[in-house]
């Protein structure tokens, strides 16, 4: 019998577990570990609460979790409760699927002022991540800014602009819904350091901005290159740019605005003890398509500034990092003997949920190549892990606990919401009688 540990229960972890289960059948036990008693990682804490159709992929993960060879071991933090080196003693292979939950930093003066939050924090706050339950982002000013021209920037701008009515059917947490309803924010400026042709925003997500109840997207037509040059773009990007061009024709007849400001690179954040404005340098494209400062600066008022400029994977003792420090150093997913990385921990923070499927299957193939299905393993797996955790006073949770928590969340749901998510570790544990 082989024993595999998959660390992290987001999309990458579940696809890898699914692939291993298919490859080994009843010749392997696969344990999916998570630091929380509830699974799904990015699906629960990252995907926007008003994108329920994307979250529905978790039904597929449920099937994996229910299969005979797979177990969920929650409430265990690898790196704190048990080390990677210890897991390698207990398991035939360890697959790190811990994602990239840390915000990249702008590295500019004023970034630490109150009012400046990373997108992982802000998204975590409205999605019920326990680490950010108390974030309390300042929503009492009229102006907010979001830095970055990717899909996460779009998520943040849209969530800041929606009405309560537009959150119906979402699983946004109650504290965020209340705060957003009372919000004074009327202008959200999206700052892209390059131009409309360099956005990382996809058409479906961008298109949503054109249909908001109380907010209208605004864009300066002067920011666009000649329309003929759109022909050279790949089809998805061409579609996104077409949508942006369409925004320039929309009437400004709503109470809130989402302002696209391109060729705008933040150089400092200023304010009296808290963020009040962001100083931006006008840029132009250099020969390689990068953002080159022109020396011309101006101010964008903002008492809330969300940086949505990408993420990094947190370090784990004894596991090597790539030179940019954003992901584990690996070759096609292999970090070292019997140690692998999948998902954002392998590739860096890019790609959609679906990208993780081939990624997980590819790494599972490598595991199979190193330990062919049917070959004997001599590691003890979960039984010994649980004993070790008990010695350390760590009480893991299991699949039944996860189900009980989800059931309780669903039972408590307010009208129009699929569930009322717990936002604190203590609430989760209380729901399972701890």
Assign 78 to helix, strand or coil. strand
Is 250 an interacting residue with respect to ligand NAP (CB under 6 A)?
no
Is 312 an interacting residue with respect to ligand NAP (CB under 6 A)?
no
How many residues touch ligand NAP under the rule CB under 6 A: the total is 25
The alpha carbon dihedral of 145, 118, 161, 194 has a sign of: positive
Residues 139-168 close enough to bind ligand NAP by CB under 6 A = 147-153, 155
Quick one: 72 or 344, whose CB is closer to ligand NAP?
Answer: 344
Assign 427 to helix, strand or coil. helix
Residues 255-294 close enough to bind ligand NAP by CB under 6 A = 265, 291
Beta carbons of 346 and 383 less than 8 angstroms apart: no
Q: At closest approach, how far in Å is the CB of 221 from ligand NAP?
A: 21
Cα–Cα distance for residue pair 415/421, rounded to 1 Å: 13
Within 127-266, residue ranges assigned H as helices are 151-161, 174-181, 203-207, 235-247
Burial of residue 373, with CB atoms counted within 10 A of its CB: 0-12 exposed, 13-18 middle, 19 or more buried: middle
Quick one: 309 or 316, whose CB is closer to ligand NAP?
Answer: 309
Q: At closest approach, how far in Å is the CB of 434 from ligand NAP?
A: 33
Among 349, 360, 377, 381, binds ligand NAP (CB under 6 A): 349
- CB-closest chain residue to ligand NAP: 150
Q: At closest approach, how far in Å is the CB of 204 from ligand NAP?
A: 7
Among 135, 200, 214, 370, binds ligand NAP (CB under 6 A): 200
Cα–Cα distance for residue pair 158/201, rounded to 1 Å: 13
For the chain, give me the number of helices (H) and strands (E)? 15, 17
Is 310 an interacting residue with respect to ligand NAP (CB under 6 A)?
yes
- Across the strands, what pairs with 144? 188, 304
Task: Copy the structure tokens of residue 244.
Answer: 């942006």
Q: At closest approach, how far in Å is the CB of 147 from ligand NAP?
A: 5
Region for 337 from its dihedrals, namely left if φ exceeds 0, alpha if ψ lies in -120 to 50, beta otherwise? beta
- The upper half-sphere exposure of residue 254, i.e. CA atoms within 13 Å in the direction of its Cβ, equals 21
Residues 366-405 close enough to bind ligand NAP by CB under 6 A = none
Is 309 an interacting residue with respect to ligand NAP (CB under 6 A)?
yes
Q: At closest approach, how far in Å is the CB of 146 from ligand NAP?
A: 10
CA dihedral 285, 313, 379, 39 (to 10 degrees): -110
Name the one range near ligand NAP by CB under 6 A: 125-133, 252-260, 296-304, 308-316: 308-316
Q: At closest approach, how far in Å is the CB of 40 from ligand NAP?
A: 15
- The upper half-sphere exposure of residue 313, i.e. CA atoms within 13 Å in the direction of its Cβ, equals 30
Task: Copy the structure tokens of residue 301.
Answer: 């008022």
Q: Which of 157, 279, 165, 174 is nearest to 210 (CA)?
A: 157
Name the one range near ligand NAP by CB under 6 A: 81-89, 109-117, 191-199, 273-281: 191-199
Q: At closest approach, how far in Å is the CB of 309 from ligand NAP?
A: 4
Is 352 an interacting residue with respect to ligand NAP (CB under 6 A)?
yes
Name the one range near ligand NAP by CB under 6 A: 190-198, 233-241, 272-280, 407-415: 190-198
Cα–Cα distance for residue pair 434/429, rounded to 1 Å: 5
The interface mask with ligand NAP, positions 54-93, x = CB under 6 A, is: ----------------------------------------
Is 106 an interacting residue with respect to ligand NAP (CB under 6 A)?
yes
Q: At closest approach, how far in Å is the CB of 268 from ligand NAP?
A: 12
User: By the criterion CB under 6 A, which residues form the site for ligand NAP?
Assistant: 106, 147-153, 155, 192-194, 198, 200, 202, 205, 265, 291, 308-310, 349-352
């Amino acid at each position: 019998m082989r024993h595999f540990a998959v660390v992290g229960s987001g999309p990458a972890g579940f696809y890898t577990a699914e692939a291993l289960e298919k490859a080994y059948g009843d010749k392997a036990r696969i344990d999916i570990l998570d630091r929380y008693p509830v699974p799904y990682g990015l699906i629960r804490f990252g995907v926007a609460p008003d994108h329920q159709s994307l979250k529905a992929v978790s039904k597929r993960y449920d099937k994996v979790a229910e299969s005979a060879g797979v177990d969920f071991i929650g409430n265990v933090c690898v790196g704190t409760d048990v080390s990677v080196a210890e897991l390698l003693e207990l398991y035939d292979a360890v697959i790190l699927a811990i994602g990239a939950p840390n915000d990249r930093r702008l590295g500019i003066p004023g970034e630490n002022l109150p009012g400046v939050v990373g997108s992982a924090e802000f998204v975590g706050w409205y999605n019920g991540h326990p680490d950010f339950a108390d974030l309390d982002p300042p929503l009492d000013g009229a102006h907010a800014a979001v830095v970055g021209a990717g899909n996460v920037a779009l998520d943040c701008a849209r969530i800041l602009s929606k009405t309560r009515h537009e959150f119906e059917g979402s699983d946004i947490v109650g504290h965020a819904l209340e705060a957003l309803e009372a919000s004074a924010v009327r202008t959200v400026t999206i700052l892209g350091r390059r131009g409309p042709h360099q956005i990382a925003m996809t058409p479906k997500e961008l298109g949503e901005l054109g249909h908001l109840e109380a907010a209208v997207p605004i864009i300066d037509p002067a920011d666009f290159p000649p329309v003929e040059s759109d022909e050279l773009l790949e089809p998805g990007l061409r579609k996104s740019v077409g949508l942006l061009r369409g925004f320039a024709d929309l009437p400004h007849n709503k109470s809130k605005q989402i302002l696209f400001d391109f060729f705008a690179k933040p150089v400092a954040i200023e304010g009296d003890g808290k963020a009040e404005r962001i100083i931006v340098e006008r840029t132009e494209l250099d020969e390689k398509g990068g953002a080159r400062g022109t020396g011309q600066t101006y101010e964008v008022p903002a008492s809330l500034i969300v940086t949505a400029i990408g993420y990094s994977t947190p370090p784990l003792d004894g596991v090597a990092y790539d030179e940019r420090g954003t992901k584990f150093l690996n070759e096609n997913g292999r970090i070292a003997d019997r140690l692998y990385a999948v998902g954002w921990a392998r590739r860096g923070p890019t790609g959609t949920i679906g990208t993780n499927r081939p990624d997980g299957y590819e790494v599972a193939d490598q595991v199979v190549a190193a330990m062919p299905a049917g070959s004997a393993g001599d590691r003890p797996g979960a039984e010994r892990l649980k004993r070790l955790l008990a010695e350390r006073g760590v009480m893991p949770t299991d699949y039944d606990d996860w189900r009980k928590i989800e059931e309780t969340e669903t039972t408590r749901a307010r009208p129009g919401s699929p569930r009322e998510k717990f936002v604190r570790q203590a609430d989760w544990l209380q729901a399972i009688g701890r």
